Amino acid sequence: MQLTGAQIVIECLKEQGVDTVFGYPGGAILNLYDELYKHSSEIRHVLTSHEQGAAHAADGYARSTGKVGVCLATSGPGATNLVTGIATAYMDSVPMVAITCNVGVSLLGKDSFQEIDITGITMPITKHNFIVKNVEDLAATMRRAFMIAQTGRPGPVLVDIPKDVTANKTKFVSTVIRKPLRVADTILPKDLEDAALLIEKAQKPIVFVGGGGVISDASEEIAKFVSLVDAPVCDTLMGKGAYDGTKSNYTGMLGMHGTKTSNLAVQQCDLLIVIGARFSDRVFGNAASFASNAKILQIDVDPAEINKNIKIDSEIIGDIKEVLLRLNQIVKQQEHKEWMQHILEMKETYPLSDPSDGLSGPQVVETIFEMTNGEAIISTEVGQHQMWAAQFYNYKQPRTFLTSGGLGTMGYGLGASIGAQIANPDKQVINIAGDGCFRMNMNEIATAVREQLPLIQVVINNHVLGMVRQWQSLFYGQRYSHTILNDSVDFVKLSEAMGADAERATTIDEFKEIFKKALASKTPYVIECVIDSDDKVWPMVAPGKPIDEVMSADD
């Protein structure tokens, strides 16, 4: 049948099982929006307050479900407003397809109104991108975009379509889309045997889980593997929930704001088993001293991550789930009683603590965990509150912690929480923000109200840019250059003006009372929590220092 380019895009979305898209219309994309109008019963369109919010919402939808998130924007500034969200998804390996529409083919390259080379701009921050100048190529390109976004290490793909291509017609033949196969042909028997031998020789192993464990849906396989190895488990920011954070052998996050137990254990272990983690600088601190007493076994789907930042001893390349399914068949049951007892003693000696007086970020996060029984989906912005959310909420399931790890995007969490709440209507979604981050994209509260979402927005307000101030306190002689937010912004009134319920808490008892009301609410609820400006995230490793040189509040 003959269809316009806009109709083909819609049919391709339906082929992929897309039920929700996030976006903002404009002149160049009007043909596509006209078709969306006609298919509103099949594809839900969420109009965000800003295109960046649309990209973050598509990201949150994807992270919380494992499906491909989809966002739309028009040409020029509409497309460029997606860039931060696309880069966020790229750094954290999130499957996303961003669809932009450009000026007509004949107007490209002529500085036309709202023309921008969005494929050139996004080339470094996408797995692949396309500009489709011929309607005959559109269906194949859309299908390829979704395949690339999901295959191997996931990531964002951009498809830019000139306006006349969305209007032109061509023959369209629908097809049945098959789910991409997991990467398994790179899993070599010799690599599996070498890994099993390293594990059998180890006396003090530790398992280090990253975002790949979440992305590959390998939680069950990780749990079985950890039991076979008889090892403690630490994780990255992105790996939260891949292993149950309430287990006794879980030691917490590793790295700059990791637990003292995790950092010391990695420095003391004789085998570090790395599952789907990329050795971020925030994890290893000082590369020369990192896990210097250990052999390192790395399991990853992306061969580019092998020996990139840290020299390793053995690797297995392939999808985490597929690797562990095979490894669990050949690894013999291990036993490390003395090592495991040592880990438990360190956990008792070096617990996470909150040295603050009065209402604090850790108190708020612990209360959220207790009052949700750890069953909520938590999203965050970036900064001190993000670290407290990682430290003091014990994530029991994967895809329940959504945060910008690689790019560190302030303004990410609220959009992500909207995407996650729409994708998971039966779960409670809570975004934890700092006041500096909330300012960046707080207009998305209006989106949450329009969509009647029951999400909860917690703003931990210390009236400063907390994490930057912490660095200024510790490393810049307390010179607080432009990090003090001592203005008269009233987040409660602003939230109410956008249609949300909103209250302010200054004590933990007030927070508990308000949070209980928020949990019962069926509409967006904003809770501002006022804390001290000088509260800090502890423990902390100074940049470039070995991870066992951990500072506490006492230090």
pLDDT per residue as tens digits for the range 498-541: 999 999 999 999 999 999 999 999 999 999 999 999 999 999 99
pLDDT at 356: 83
Name the residue among 355, 356, 361 with its Cα closest to residue 528.
Answer: 361
Name the residue among 308, 314, 260 with its Cα closest to residue 287.
Answer: 308
**Confidence label for 553 from pLDDT (cuts 50, 70 and 90):** confident
Cα angle 385, 390, 395; round to 5: 135
**Distance of alpha carbon 28 from alpha carbon 18, whole angstroms:** 22
Lowest-pLDDT range of 55-59, 407-411, 484-488: 484-488
251-294 per-position pLDDT tens digit:
999 999 999 999 999 999 999 999 999 999 999 999 999 999 99
Whether 377 has a pLDDT exceeding 90, the answer reads yes
Q: 290 near 546, Cβ under 8 Å?
A: yes
- Provide the edge-to-edge strand list for the sheet that holds 96-102: 44-47, 20-24, 69-73, 96-102, 156-162, 128-131
Kindly report, as residue ranges, where domains of CATH 3.40.50.970 are found in the chain: 2-171, 361-541
124-134 per-position pLDDT tens digit:
999 999 999 99
Kindly report, as residue ranges, where domains of CATH 3.40.50.1220 are found in the chain: 189-349
- Tell whether domain 361-541 is in CATH 3.40.50.970: yes
Average pLDDT over residues 22-38: 98
Average pLDDT over residues 70-94: 98
**Distance of alpha carbon 393 from alpha carbon 489, whole angstroms:** 29
Whether 357 has a pLDDT exceeding 90, the answer reads no
Q: What is the topology classification, in CATH, of domain 189-349?
A: Rossmann fold (3.40.50)
Q: Where are the beta strands (DSSP E) in 12-60?
A: 20-24, 44-47
Average pLDDT over residues 330-339: 98
**Distance of alpha carbon 254 from alpha carbon 207, whole angstroms:** 11
Q: What is the share, in percent, of the chain residues with pLDDT greater than 70?
A: 100
pLDDT at 256: 97
pLDDT at 111: 93
**Distance of alpha carbon 420 from alpha carbon 340, whole angstroms:** 37
Tell me the catalytic residues.
51, 113-114, 163, 467
What is the torsional sign of CA 160, 162, 163, 168? negative
pLDDT at 30: 98
**Distance of alpha carbon 518 from alpha carbon 507, whole angstroms:** 16
Average pLDDT over residues 76-82: 98
Whether 554 has a pLDDT exceeding 90, the answer reads no
Query: CATH class for domain 2-171?
Result: alpha beta
Q: What is the pTM of this model?
A: 0.97
Q: What is the share, in percent, of the chain residues with pLDDT greater than 90?
A: 98
- Where residue 307 falls (left for φ over 0; alpha for ψ -120 to 50; beta otherwise) is left
Average pLDDT, the chain: 97
Q: Are strands 44-47 and 233-235 parallel, antiparallel or unpaired?
A: unpaired
In the block, tokens 């940049």 appear at 543
Q: 535 near 361, Cβ under 8 Å?
A: yes
215-254 per-position pLDDT tens digit:
999 999 999 999 999 999 999 999 999 999 999 999 999 9
pLDDT at 9: 98
pLDDT at 355: 84
Q: 113 near 28, Cβ under 8 Å?
A: no
Whether 552 has a pLDDT exceeding 90, the answer reads no
Whether 436 has a pLDDT exceeding 90, the answer reads yes
**Distance of alpha carbon 497 from alpha carbon 373, whole angstroms:** 32
